Structure 1
Amino acid sequence: MSHLLLSSDLTGTIEQPAWYFDAAHENRWIMLDLLLMTQGWRRFAWSDILAGTIPPINYPVERGLSLTGRVVRPNGKDIGGKVNLNFMVVKKDSTRDFLLGESDETGNFGAYDLNFTDTTLVRIQGVKGRANRDLVIRLDQLLLPTVTMTKVPYNPVEFQRDELAEFMKRASEYLAMERQIRRNGEVLLNAVTVKAKKYVERDSRVIYSNPDASVKFTTLNSAGRQTILDVIQGQIPGVQVTGSGFQARVQIRGAVNFSGPVAPLFVLDGMPTDLQGVINIPVSDVDRVDVLKGASAAIYGSRGGGGVISVLTKRGAPDYDFTNDVTPGTLLAKLPGYAPVREFYSPQYDVKKPEHSGAPDRQPDYRATLFWAPMIQTDAEGKASVSFFTSDARNNIRFRAEGVTVNGMPGVGQGVVSVE
């Protein structure tokens, strides 16, 4: 309340702003007048108020989440006209919302009053003319706020300096009760040995267990290479690559019959193909190349008589994330939405546990925070009631209520209840 009614409109630092709203101080109104005359109002000019000049509204009231951005050319310049846009919002529960619209003449667009929670996948596609290669979609919300975390051995709790001794006393009692509960319920178990094999998820693209040789494609061994054969050349014993570039040929040693050398079988992500089907694949799209020789290649039948060269791409992997694909005229982004609704936990001691559960009716309760309600609606007289269970600590309970009227006026109330 002190921030909304005082600190937000005054310049400089105000020492103890809540002091001016405490009814226990009889001279607070005089001191408040002195404060206002000293620091003064700087948010507006009285001449504008008397003249009836209303400042422009730069940030309109938002009734939901907004997605705003701009469509530009790859060089960042104006796209030159309106662009048709398709929006797809994939929510956490897999439900989807589809929106259609268009940008203005300069490429700016906006989708307003959206409602989604948690991390949500947003897909925006622009359509202009016959092709979308000259479109780049940018979102304004991709700059996420930074978060600062402080590691402490307990959950941070705010309290007054004179309450420190009482807080430490109650915390010590709670820890002592927890230790006693663990001592009473402890059971010494005999040694247990668990034996299991590490589970390795099988790649559905391959029908063999272990290849005779494998080459993992990295930026070091594939940099500057034109084709897949250029990368595996000299990397696998018994695999001979002649030529270079798109004119290269490959032969696996020992793959011959009465007619002469037998060409190997090429397999692309589990599907049989030929040399031309794999030689045009960019090396940056390949994850690894497996080679099967002799008896290992027999799993492919007579087609594998000359050996098998299995090309596995990154896109074909079962765990490939298609959201990383960059498609011309399309933007995929993961945006944070509203936080999911969570309910403050409050034990219900009037509900008895079943007798056969074996657990005690309830454990000692020394909670620091007993009750919290985010939305309490009063009646026409301004009254409302709440109920909750206290803890086992026989001390005073501090409560604080904060609210706002339908006209926007804030209010704060606090007090103390004694538990006997």
Structure 2
Amino acid sequence: MSLSTETLLDPWPAPRAVTPVDVTVALPGSKSLTNRALLLAAIADGPSTVRRALRSRDTLLMARALTALGCEVDTSGADWRVTPGLDAAGPAERSIDCGLAGTVMRFVPPVAALAAGSTAFDGDAHMRNRPVGAMLEGLRALGVTVEDDGRGALPFTVCGDGTVQGGHVVIDASASSQFVSALLLAGARYENGVDVEHRGAPVPSLPHIEMTVEMLREHGVVVDDSVKDRWTVSPGTVKAMDHEVEPDLSNAAPFLALAAVSGGRVVVEGWPQRTTQAGDVLREVLTAMGCTARFVEAGLEVTGPADGQRLQGVELDLHDHGELAPAIAALCALAETPSRLTGIAHIRGHETDRLAALATELNALGSDVDELEDGLVIRPATLHGGVFHTYADHRMAHAAVIIGAAVDGVEVENVNTTSKTFPDFAPFWSGLLVEARR
């Protein structure tokens, strides 16, 4: 796998926004949309093209995983061509590297069950701590043999025989919405479809399940989501279709934050008027903090607080938008009034325990942060420079560069972890600030 990331200092000096920025940015495509589109194309009834596919570590891992299962995925251009072909009589054993990609670890096993032979899954060391047990138990209840020595975590092996019975299954998806999406994405190819019922604390990040349901329907799959916490996918054909991938709105967070912290203006090109991406809530969050957000011809324009004004703190339940918590927490640390972010206990199980990591790193730079069971309380404080550790988590790197744009002397440890969803993020970020000074 090759990604074009230049060698950077580590820790990397985050550039300051010394003047109000005024820039327009074109962002890479959405990881969430790209990986769902790739997987659905792999089980469709003919070839499909994923246009403007995100080229990042997570999406290349997905392409390699589907290739291992017998599909053809041509990633040579900007538009990726997928030819389905799950192994009906493939190798007795194959292996899939999940890296740090939750979508690969969770979305691919239900598809691997449709291929003959055993598929071993493993990934980076930290991935062995990320939750996946509820989804594996769901697969077992649907008739799939899964070997994990009782760990409920990586590494595990899915033993497929080319068919899955499917049917009704009850799972606890309170740790991740991806448990539900994983079963729904493959469900149309199961003999009896799939009827997924959630029992437990509220499912986090519901917009991601809505994204899954909408994409399934675009492929001609019948999905009934009329009952709360229950999703039924009818068995049938997954029709081949081409997808145009939207810009990644969650990856837009640090760029829009540049306008907020510098009192400047940032336009993100191609921001959709309607979308299932959770990142769309940034328009509301930034407005509540004192910015102005509006659609313009090119996309979405965000302007920072007016002359002499500072960012305002917010009280937010981010249960459905947890992936934005690191960037929002960084903005809150720069606000002149307190903030309270709640509903995000589930992000303790993301690439790192993001609540503990944010409290530790923000406090190390002089912030005043208390860690709650399900969130953070952030009070105004004078921040200073220092090393901001990322814990191999791209969202933590986003928080770091936001602080660095407003505070002298911030250094980001392992900024290249951003290659997970945005290759060459650091030089792109620096280039914007250079452009803004011209």
TM-score > 0.5 by shorter chain: no
Interval containing the TM-score (normalised by the shorter chain):
under 0.3
Q: TM-score, normalised by structure 2?
A: 0.20
Higher Cα Rg, which structure: 1
Q: TM-score, normalised by structure 1?
A: 0.21
Q: Which has the higher contact order (CA 8 A, sep 6+)?
A: 2
